[in-house]
Structure 1
Amino acid sequence: MTSEKTPPTSDPRPQFELLRQMFAEAMDAMQPAARFLEQTSFTKSMLRLPDGHEINLNSYRNVWVFGAGKGAFSLAEGMIQLLGKRLAGGAVIGPVSALPQPDATHTATGVYMLPGDHPVPGEHSLRSTEKLIEIAREVRADDLVLFALTGGASAMLAKPAPGVTMEHKRQRFRELLASGASIAEMNRTRKQLSAVKGGRLLEAFNGADVVNFVISDVPGNDLQTIGSAPTQPPHNAASAARLQVYNVMLATPEQNAAAIARKARAKGIRSHAMNAAFSGAMDNLVSMIVGDLESELRNRGQNGDTPPTLRIYFGEADLKVGPAAGKGGRNTHLALMLADPLHRLAQTRPGTHITLLSAGTDGIDGNTPAAGAICTEQTALLARKMNLDTAEYLTKFDSYTYFSQIDAIFQPGPTGTNLTDLQLILIH
């Protein structure tokens, strides 16, 4: 039996810090308020949208702000900053942790900021949705609604359909989260259980025109999937003569990845980003990453003169969780699945180091307070020295505990936005 060859040691902290910095810069650039204000302008009575479409606000009796999702507070603040006293009021549901103050009202505009639960709807979501609908009943057909929609709205905007109890709805959410179903499959089921999803919230606005400002957190950026489409007509049919529902996509995972790649190149780092968000089984994503890294290592210069390379992956991998699951989420689990492959890959090219940051762009990963984890070619060796069995922690779906013990948890806190999961892999 041949002994395992130990790769040259390297202080991983500079690489950790570089990836943390890249993540932080990306989330700052993708803040919903910033994206809204960068792409939208208001001059006199004209609201100009990113695609050049203009809306004359003077043609409406009132303009309202509504919304829901992890980034909805930020997006609504951008609307309030731009339009100020032109707004009649409204209601926005966002994370409890991001609430300015309990049942806060923006005093200048009367827009309520209300708490919502995530990932499973609870009493906060139910009460806040009832309050939002109550305020929406004041909207008339000759009004305009600006709707802030981001990921997380499926849980935060919650009102059971007739004949469905809140407890049944909550149980189905838990089952879906553990099932390994895709986000599109989950949200199709969520619509069936809801009185507000799948375009049903539009009924509360009494025929008013609606402009949806959207931050996408789903592969493919499907408007019928994001937030379970509360203000999206089933077939997205807008009248050419009179605006009914108009959609503005402010940020996508693809735009986020492309921006990270540009900034990395400016630092002298070669960068490769996926063209579209990944969707499918996590095993398939792991195979893709390993295959790409094998190719990358084969093609690197023989004399160590190849500059650092950053590979960028993003999307939402499906993971079916076992009944006795421990603590963890998609990102810590993915990092753990790659611990042994990264060690094996580095051995094929001595002197090469690989650093992975896998994180939820909302700052939350599964049932943990972390966004994800950092893993290197040395992680598996370090774990073995600490008598941690990687396979056992994978089987128990206890990846957060594993990475906590080797001090490799990534915990930036809630980011205020949501653009799917993100994997940054630095080869140097």
Structure 2
Amino acid sequence: MKTPDVSFAKQQALLRCMFDAAIASAQPALCIPAHLPDPQSLGKGRLIVIGAGKASAAMARAVEDHWPAPLSGLVVTRYGYAVPCERIEIVEAAHPVPDAAGEVAAQRMLQLVQGLTADDLVLCLISGGGSSLLPLPLPGLSLEHKQDLNRALLKSGATISEMNCVRRHLSAIKGGRLAAACHPARVLTLLISDVPGDDPMDIASGPTVADPTTCEDALAVIRRYNIDVPAQVMNVLQSGRGESIKPGDPRLAGTEVRMIATPQMALEAAAAVAESAGYTAYILGDALEGEARDVGKVLAGMALQVAGRSQPFEAPCVLLSGGETTVTLRGNGRGGRNVEWLLATGIALNGHPRIHAMAGDTDGVDGQEEIAGACLAPDSLDRAWALGLRPRDSLANNDGHGFFQALGDSVITGPTLTNVNDFRAILIDAPTEN
């Protein structure tokens, strides 16, 4: 096996520093305090804290640390993402395929907000992953129906917006239903966005915001991707029983939504790190979507144009992007949209000596693996061939994780306690003077 070129260590370390800066910029302890209301404004009312998502426990802890008055509540986070709290109960549940723990927690959450008054304030802490963590099916549906549908949606190639459209119309808590249950209390929702475009109704499937989409829209997604669903699911959608809370509903009149951390903010933090190291940073977009391997080819082509022709930018520079690509599973690999993007990028770059790259999910989990992503160096393909790996075969098998693990180039962060979607960086060095 070829030993990695030690001259690449500087670039790889810089890429990791940029990724770490993106994650740090979205930490709840940094983002939450400025958005908390004045405790005096509650008067005789109570503060009830609820929420769901991979960052929700860390968000709850930040609330406790900066709220001097009484409070109580319940939030749901992913297994392994709990943070100790004293006044807010933390429940762990499964993601991305929901489990019974999440279902019970969702039921308890709805019960918790019953009987509130107009003097009370519900503080809802929502982040990515909340959709799977609050799996409360409508009457006539079961948790098993939700689990099977989630698996099918994850494999279908549907966008996150399309998946959440279906989820909202089969849920007893999403699509504005949680906020409606809080009425007549006021509801302040603090969001950490993990979706392209930062649309609140797509973050955790919008439990506290109005939903303009319809059951017919959900049916269109199922037909578009030829998803096989049980008769019970079709009945809920075709009958209209799954309609969500629509804009203008009076039960949502006392709601407010604030975006406290976004993919764009994270990319700007990474760009500042690149600039301090002498690389001009260009943010190509915070909401790129499409098949991961196709996006990889396109961005690799742009990087090659920069390296070869100084167009549209001059090296040294870094091309940054965020968003959420998709992977249509065709092989028996472990998926992971970031490693799929990175492998496709590497194949297109074909070992260009001045181009490095990195991709990772800011929540620390790429696909269903406890691996955030991976790094790519100019010698990655050579090292893979020396190990007997065939890069194109790995890509065809959706086995990016296996490919980069074999090279020792996986990026493992552990639970990051936040989630602002995917991070992609392509670093292009200037030509060496002869």
Scaled by the length of structure 2, the TM-score of the pair is 0.84
1:384 is matched with 385
Among candidates 28, 40, 43, match of residue 24 of structure 2: 28
Alignment of structure 1 residues 329-408 onto 2, 5 Å: 329-343=336-350, 346=352, 352-408=353-409
**CA distance in structure 2 between the aligned counterparts of 1:299 and 1:35, rounded to whole angstroms:** 41
2:412 is matched with 411
Among candidates 222, 226, 241, match of residue 199 of structure 2: 222
Deviation readout 1:211-259 (Å, 9 max, x if unpaired) = 110111110111111110011123575799x961111010111111122
> Aligned residue pairs: how many?
391
**CA distance in structure 1 between the aligned counterparts of 2:77 and 2:286, rounded to whole angstroms:** 27
Instruction: Say whether 1:264 aligns with 2:260.
Output: no
Among candidates 298, 303, 314, match of residue 308 of structure 2: 298
**CA distance in structure 2 between the aligned counterparts of 1:334 and 1:308, rounded to whole angstroms:** 22
**CA distance in structure 2 between the aligned counterparts of 1:100 and 1:390, rounded to whole angstroms:** 39
Letter paired with 2:157: G
1:83 is matched with 67
**CA distance in structure 1 between the aligned counterparts of 2:334 and 2:286, rounded to whole angstroms:** 29
1:14 is matched with 10
1:253 is matched with 263
Deviation at 1:332, TM superposition (A): 1.2
The structure showing larger relative contact order (alpha-carbon pairs under 8 Å, at least 6 residues apart) is 2
Deviation at 1:420, TM superposition (A): 1.1
**CA distance in structure 2 between the aligned counterparts of 1:23 and 1:57, rounded to whole angstroms:** 39
Root mean square deviation of aligned Cα:
2.4
**CA distance in structure 2 between the aligned counterparts of 1:210 and 1:148, rounded to whole angstroms:** 11
**CA distance in structure 1 between the aligned counterparts of 2:5 and 2:119, rounded to whole angstroms:** 68
1:40 is matched with 35
Alignment of structure 1 residues 189-228 onto 2, 5 Å: 189-228=166-205
Deviation at 1:138, TM superposition (A): 4.9
What secondary structure, in the 3-state scheme, does the structure 2 residue paired with 1:246 have?
A: strand
Conservation of the 8 A alpha-carbon contact between 1:238 and 1:245: no
Deviation at 1:43, TM superposition (A): 5.2
CA separation of 1:354 and 1:178: change in aligned 2, threshold 3 A = same
What secondary structure, in the 3-state scheme, does the structure 2 residue paired with 1:97 have?
A: coil
Deviation readout 1:139-160 (Å, 9 max, x if unpaired) = 3343111110100000001111
CA separation of 1:243 and 1:172: change in aligned 2, threshold 3 A = closer
Conservation of the 8 A alpha-carbon contact between 2:292 and 2:338: no
Percentage of identical aligned residues: 30
1:320 is matched with 328
**CA distance in structure 1 between the aligned counterparts of 2:306 and 2:374, rounded to whole angstroms:** 23
2:287 is matched with 277
**CA distance in structure 1 between the aligned counterparts of 2:145 and 2:60, rounded to whole angstroms:** 31
**CA distance in structure 1 between the aligned counterparts of 2:248 and 2:415, rounded to whole angstroms:** 35
1:166 is matched with 143
Conservation of the 8 A alpha-carbon contact between 2:58 and 2:83: no
**CA distance in structure 1 between the aligned counterparts of 2:36 and 2:187, rounded to whole angstroms:** 17
**CA distance in structure 2 between the aligned counterparts of 1:394 and 1:134, rounded to whole angstroms:** 47
Among candidates 94, 99, 116, match of residue 77 of structure 2: 94
What secondary structure, in the 3-state scheme, does the structure 1 residue paired with 2:200 have?
A: coil
Letter paired with 1:326: G
**CA distance in structure 2 between the aligned counterparts of 1:44 and 1:157, rounded to whole angstroms:** 28
1:424 is matched with 425
**CA distance in structure 2 between the aligned counterparts of 1:342 and 1:18, rounded to whole angstroms:** 20
2:157 is matched with 180
Among candidates 57, 80, 86, match of residue 42 of structure 2: 57
CA separation of 1:132 and 1:42: change in aligned 2, threshold 3 A = closer
Structure 1: runs of 5 or more not aligned: 1-5, 46-55, 347-351
1:349 is matched with none
Conservation of the 8 A alpha-carbon contact between 1:358 and 1:421: yes
Letter paired with 1:328: G
**CA distance in structure 1 between the aligned counterparts of 2:20 and 2:115, rounded to whole angstroms:** 40
2:297 is matched with 287
Scaled by the length of structure 1, the TM-score of the pair is 0.85
1:50 is matched with none
Letter paired with 1:224: M
What secondary structure, in the 3-state scheme, does the structure 2 residue paired with 1:392 have?
A: helix
Letter paired with 1:93: V
Letter paired with 2:105: S
Deviation at 1:328, TM superposition (A): 3.3
Letter paired with 2:368: N
**CA distance in structure 2 between the aligned counterparts of 1:42 and 1:201, rounded to whole angstroms:** 21
What secondary structure, in the 3-state scheme, does the structure 1 residue paired with 2:69 have?
A: helix
Which shows bigger deviation, 396-405 or 212-221? 396-405
Conservation of the 8 A alpha-carbon contact between 2:192 and 2:261: yes
Deviation at 1:83, TM superposition (A): 1.7
Letter paired with 2:327: L
1:49 is matched with none
**CA distance in structure 2 between the aligned counterparts of 1:25 and 1:248, rounded to whole angstroms:** 22
**CA distance in structure 1 between the aligned counterparts of 2:287 and 2:102, rounded to whole angstroms:** 29
Deviation at 1:293, TM superposition (A): 0.7
Alignment of structure 1 residues 69-80 onto 2, 5 Å: 69-80=53-64
Letter paired with 2:74: A
Letter paired with 1:122: D
Structure 2: runs of 5 or more not aligned: 213-245, 430-434
1:120 is matched with 97
Deviation at 1:29, TM superposition (A): 2.1
Which shows bigger deviation, 381-390 or 166-175? 381-390
Conservation of the 8 A alpha-carbon contact between 1:238 and 1:244: no
1:133 is matched with 110
